Structure 1
């Protein structure tokens, strides 16, 4: 996919007018928001290349409560989705893009981002293993929700919930879930949205 906010070898340590303009046009963020997030990002990743542990710190407020083990697993999945150029680090542009997806009001954009978080290997297909992994990570979060659909879906644990989700989402019975099947399910089913909205 690649980082669409960054020009080849661009450094974000100094925010130029061109960079502000590009981020504003592409992401819709105000100059004040971009400056604030820039300061926060560089205070955590002073070389402009954030590691997984730093991303967990930066995005902590957007992640659901979970045990330390599950938080680490969720952070690994999130990091893979954010590191769009697969260099093992998140730059400021990738970080800002992730904030856009956490804050978006667009259900389609949100569903696509959640799909990328779940799709750990990045092959644009969700396996039962990937889905069960994320449901396990979100188990404590789901238990804290007061939603009868989520409770019914997850009551027997992540493995059973995975089977139920596959019955709903794998429309072509291929044994995995593609992006359009996931987005379609997200748009049509409130329980699916609630399961993965954090």
Structure 2
């Protein structure tokens, strides 16, 4: 299965030469002199312009997940907390975070519409022509929605991710923040 570096393409903060918070704080502050990253700045930093509505919604949801205190900004502490979770968190922590990302209406369940919306957004951002969002959604719900109610509970989501490799692979792509780390470290979008 997937180890603690899930989503980081085998890299970690230590692998990239950043062995302490001072280094990352210096890099973060050089990109965000105010110490706070707004949604607009987040999109600009990641070179995410002219996205469709689904991609915009996904980026907004990711931003909101990082904005722990819900003040409309990602500060350094929130940034480090997010990076630590994604790079070093346990699998169950990562899956719970991912579940919250999908659960747009925060009712503790993911319906097909919420799931499809995220998959379409990921598809749009990654320009991934190999994955048909509608077919993938149907496949996941057929395999993972054990009680057939058309919604995924956290338990079904975690069990499905642990038992279905294609579902786990998709979650791994969602949690891959290595490009974000490289952009903040190097100051430019990676190709």
TM-score by length of structure 2 reads: 0.66
SS at match of 2:77: helix
* Mapping for residues 49-68 of structure 1, pairs under 5 Å: 49-56=36-43, 60=46, 68=51
Cα distance per residue 1:144-168 (max 9 Å; x no partner):
7xxxxxx6xx4xx322321221122
* Residue in 2 that maps onto 1:122: 106
Change in CA separation of 1:191 and 1:101 when aligned onto 2, cut-off 3 Å? same
Q: Is the 8 A contact 1:142 1:195 kept in 2?
A: no
Does structure 1 residue 195 correspond to structure 2 residue 170? Answer: yes
The equivalent position to 1:43 in structure 2, one of 15, 27, 30, is: 30
Deviation at 1:178, TM superposition (A): 1.8
* Mapping for residues 86-97 of structure 1, pairs under 5 Å: 86-97=70-81
Deviation at 1:117, TM superposition (A): 2.1
- Deviating above 6 A after TM superposition, structure 1's stretches of 4 or more consecutive aligned residues are none
* Residue in 1 that maps onto 2:120: 136
RMSD: 3.1
* Residue in 2 that maps onto 1:166: 141
2: CA distance, partners of 1:67 / 1:190: 32
The number of residue pairs the alignment matches comes to 157
Which structure has the greater CA radius of gyration? 1
Where structure 1 has 5 or more consecutive residues not aligned to the other structure, the ranges are 1-28, 145-150
Deviation at 1:50, TM superposition (A): 1.7
SS at match of 1:90: strand
* Residue in 2 that maps onto 1:148: none
Deviation at 1:57, TM superposition (A): 5.4
> Which piece of structure 1 moves more, 177-186 or 166-175?
166-175
2: CA distance, partners of 1:196 / 1:179: 14
Change in CA separation of 1:56 and 1:116 when aligned onto 2, cut-off 3 Å? farther
Counting helix residues as a fraction of each chain, which structure ranks higher? 1
Q: Is the 8 A contact 2:28 2:76 kept in 1?
A: yes
Change in CA separation of 1:121 and 1:51 when aligned onto 2, cut-off 3 Å? farther
